[in-house]
Amino acid sequence: MATRRILRIDDAADRKILKAHCRPIKLPDPKLKALIADMFETLHAAQGVGLAAPQIGLPIQLTIIEIPPLYETDANGDETDAIIEPARPYVLLNPRIVKLSEEYVPRMEGCLSLPCWYGEVPRATWATVEFQDLDGKRQRIRRAGDLLGWAMQHEIDHLNGILYTERITNLDTLRNVDDEHAALPDLAPELPAEPTL
């Protein structure tokens, strides 16, 4: 396993790759297991919830998500070491959203491709997603809400070249949680060069 470099939204060369539409994966593919292991190692090192293949420079329809474990709390409301529910990993190959709730809720959202920056993004309260497993069999997660539903919408956006910063309806909500005085990152799309005559 290896940790991969995560591409950044605020880097022009990286953003060009992040904005590309990803191609479907032909399954089964035995090489995917090693790639998925690398992606989980990268996700854990970055302390994230989800990671899409284009974020490590691969324009393929693959995303992983890991919902963190749920810990018991003590009488003071502090987390203990006792796990109520273990971490839940998901591997989604060629995923597509088949249905979204009609209700949308704004929530502060971040991305490993723009560390520490969070902005208010409206997302559907639940999503039904169809995808393939490593054997190529079709699977479906129905009406996923909360963090899983939110993460699936975010990660599938990556596969379609859509960045979470494009979903922020009010850029005034975009904040660096580590440095409240940080300058806004360069989020402007690449402008086409003037044609030379």
Q: Which residues are marked as active site?
A: 155
Question: Which residue from 53, 120, 48 is spatially nearest to 93, judged by alpha carbons?
Answer: 53
Residue showing tokens 């940080």: 182
- Whole-number Å distance between alpha carbons of 50 and 64: 6
Cα dihedral 95, 98, 101, 104 in deg (nearest 10): 50
- Whole-number Å distance between alpha carbons of 11 and 188: 10
What does residue 94 show for φ and ψ, rounded to 5 degrees? 50, 50
Q: Which residues of 2-23 are buried (b: 16+ CB within 10 A; e: fewer)?
A: eebebbbbbeeebbebbbeebe
